[in-house]
Amino acid sequence: MINNAASSAPGINPSGTETLASIFSSTTASLGIVDLTAGLRYDGFSASGTSAPSAFDPITVPTGPIDRSGGRLDPSVTLALNPTDWFQPYASYAESYRPPSVSELFAGGEHGGDGGVFDPNPNLDAETARTWEVGANFRFDGVFAPGDSFRAKADYFDTRVENYIAGVLYDPGPAGYAAGHYWGSYFVNLPGTSRINGVELQAAYDAGGYFGSLAYTHTNSDLPAPAGLGVVSYTPDDVFTLTAGVRVLENRRLTLGGRLSAVSETKTGPDAYGAPQPPLPGYNLVDAFANYKFDNGVELGASVSNIFDVSYTPSLSTTPDLNPAGGTGRGRTFELNLKANF
């Protein structure tokens, strides 16, 4: 259950409750080199809240208490072949269902201090998606030394989404300006079919005393965007991650490592007036981490994220003044954690 409490100021956090429920099952049948996995999943939701649109909302929505509910049964199937110990090609198909959130249904109020206003859209439909994947897993042991391992995966995915939910900016007009509102926003279901496709490549090597991995994703976002789609719906074209580390001391109890993440620029939609907006700039982040395992099973971990304190705005985000060049990503961050099994 998700419960958003209303903010004490006239902000955008709505008051509402949403309950999500899922039931799923899957089974695998094997015959020779063929593995066939089939599954069914039911997702349901119920949401309640209050719809209070502004006087400048360009869409017609009901006002007052709102109750919404729905659900869907989604199938999935994966066919995998095992012709050798090291090579496994596969193909899969799956359908999925995402209900609108409390914030998407009931957001309303002023965006403090910058003249913005948010409006609800309790008429939102749930997203439904159909995804195809084709790829292969690779597995090798004893590549350079006894006990080491190499794993790799290559995958192409294609997702078609109906009723894609995206944020829209709008111009409140002269009446809005007179009231101190210079832009407005609400969520809509995009018309037609939204397509997200791309490739994923992964590789990892582990020799016990040292390890490393590479991951790369290229994504195309083809969204039938209305004017003012904004920056909240696109993903970066390219994401690259390199992780490397060592395990030292007795029984390799201390792990030391680092991570480099490189993210390309991200396309944005037009503003409230339909004017094209510059993309979110790309960025590079460097992280470091350490983990120590005690004899009693307790593990102590530490990490430093964004070591060089880079200012950046991650995809699916924006800055309070709607300036893509600003930075909403976390600055240099230190974390400690303790893990114990009882």
**Residue 196 maps to which CATH number?**
2.40.170.20
Cα–Cα distance for residue pair 219/198, rounded to 1 Å: 4
As given in the structure block, the two tokens for residue 190 are 């995009």
Query: Residue 250: which of 192, 295, 286 has the closest Cα?
Result: 295
Element (H, E) at 260: strand 254-263
Q: pLDDT tens digits for 147-160?
A: 999 999 999 999 99
Higher pLDDT, 142 or 15: 142
Q: Where are the alpha helices (DSSP H) in 160-219?
A: 173-178
As given in the structure block, the two tokens for residue 158 are 């294609």
2: pLDDT strictly greater than 50: no
Residue pair 138/149 in contact (Cβ under 8 Å)? The answer is: no
If one counts every other C-beta atom within 10 angstroms of the C-beta of residue 275, the result is: 9
Total structural domains within the chain: 1
Q: Residue range 19-37: average pLDDT?
A: 96
Residue 111's pLDDT band (boundaries 50, 70, 90)?
low
Residue pair 205/271 in contact (Cβ under 8 Å)? The answer is: no
Cα dihedral sign, 321-326-329-331: negative
- Note the residue count of the chain: 342
Q: Residue range 276-282: average pLDDT?
A: 80
Indicate the residue type of 60: T
Helices (H) and strands (E) in the chain, counts: 2, 18
If one counts every other C-beta atom within 10 angstroms of the C-beta of residue 75, the result is: 11
Cα–Cα distance for residue pair 306/299, rounded to 1 Å: 23
6: pLDDT strictly greater than 50: no
Residue pair 110/63 in contact (Cβ under 8 Å)? The answer is: no
Higher pLDDT, 149 or 107: 149
- What is the reported pLDDT for 191? 87
Bridge partners, residue 18, by sequence: 2, 47
Using CB atoms within 10 A of its CB, is residue 203 exposed (0-12), middle (13-18) or buried (19+)?
Answer: middle
Q: How far apart are the first and last CA of the chain?
A: 28
Q: Residue range 227-246: average pLDDT?
A: 82
- What is the reported pLDDT for 317? 64
Residue 62's pLDDT band (boundaries 50, 70, 90)?
confident
Phi-psi region of 317 (alpha: psi -120 to 50; beta: other; left: phi over 0): beta
Residue 57's pLDDT band (boundaries 50, 70, 90)?
confident
Q: What does the mean pLDDT of the chain come to? A: 87
CA atoms within 13 A on the CB side of 131: 21
Q: Residue range 110-118: average pLDDT?
A: 72
Cα–Cα distance for residue pair 202/210, rounded to 1 Å: 18
Among 21-30, 103-112, 196-205, 224-233, the minimum mean pLDDT is found in: 224-233
| Whole-number CA gyration radius for the chain | 24
Residue pair 157/219 in contact (Cβ under 8 Å)? The answer is: no
Among 6-10, 32-36, 40-44, the minimum mean pLDDT is found in: 6-10
Cα–Cα distance for residue pair 106/123, rounded to 1 Å: 10
Helix, strand, coil percentages for the chain (3-state, nearest 5): 5, 55, 40
Q: Residue range 173-192: average pLDDT?
A: 85
What is the residue range of 198's domain? 2-339
* pTM of the predicted protein model: 0.82
Q: Residue range 104-122: average pLDDT?
A: 80
SS3 338: strand
- What is the reported pLDDT for 228? 59
Query: Residue 111: which of 188, 14, 184 has the closest Cα?
Result: 184
Cα–Cα distance for residue pair 64/126, rounded to 1 Å: 21
Strand segments (E) across 85-234? 87-98, 109-111, 116-118, 127-141, 149-162, 165-170, 183-189, 193-206, 210-222
